[in-house]
């Protein structure tokens, strides 16, 4: 009988898969977005930087940065879900062949994003073979006090080997 892998080995493999996924997106590096993983749950982190300010009079985070942060949190959540599923079934951790494509995204700006770190969590409401619906919440100091939220719809890539990849 095969002995289960040590927990640390599994954690390292999962962290390496997430790091590889995120490293493949230059825009995430440009904005400084990183992800904290606890099991299968991801929290996106946008560290504050002066270059992210859109309105220096307030000062407040640029609306485009906020929208990009929430959208990338949703996309990484969907891509991570595909990787996680494969890892749980014993497959080697490899990034999906293609990312989901955004169909539409609606961002609700609830209050100005302050000049500090921001966090976001995406929740997949529905994910089928071709379509996914995701809700994302963004906060700063207090998780119960959101500064923005978004709902997006995404076209999912076909599974590898399905013949629909091309």
Give the mean pLDDT of the chain. 88
Q: What percent of the chain has pLDDT over 70?
A: 88
| DSSP 8-state secondary structure symbol assigned to residue 7 | H
Span 7-155: which CATH code?
3.10.129.10
**Beta carbons of 27 and 99 less than 8 angstroms apart:** no
Domain boundary assignment for the chain: 7-155
pLDDT single digits (tens) 103-121: 999 999 999 999 999 999 9
Give 117-149 pLDDT, tens digit per residue.
999 999 999 988 899 999 999 999 999 999 999
Which DSSP helix (H) or strand (E) runs through 29?
Answer: helix 26-31
């Amino acid at each position: 009988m095969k002995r289960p892998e040590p927990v640390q080995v599994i954690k390292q493999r999962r962290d390496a898969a997430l790091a590889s996924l995120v490293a493949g997106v230059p825009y995430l590096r440009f904005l400084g977005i990183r992800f904290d993983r606890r099991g299968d749950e991801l929290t996106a982190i946008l560290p504050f930087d002066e270059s992210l300010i859109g309105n220096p009079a307030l000062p407040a985070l640029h609306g485009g940065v906020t929208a990009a942060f929430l959208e990338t949190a949703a996309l990484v959540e969907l891509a991570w879900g595909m990787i996680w599923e494969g890892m749980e079934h014993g497959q080697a951790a490899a990034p999906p062949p293609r990312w989901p494509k955004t169909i539409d995204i609606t961002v609700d700006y609830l209050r100005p994003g302050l000049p500090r770190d921001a966090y976001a969590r995406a929740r997949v409401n529905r994910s089928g073979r071709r379509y996914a619906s995701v809700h994302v919440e963004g906060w700063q100091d207090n998780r119960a006090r959101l500064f923005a939220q978004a709902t997006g719809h995404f076209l999912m890539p076909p599974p590898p080997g399905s013949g629909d990849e091309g």
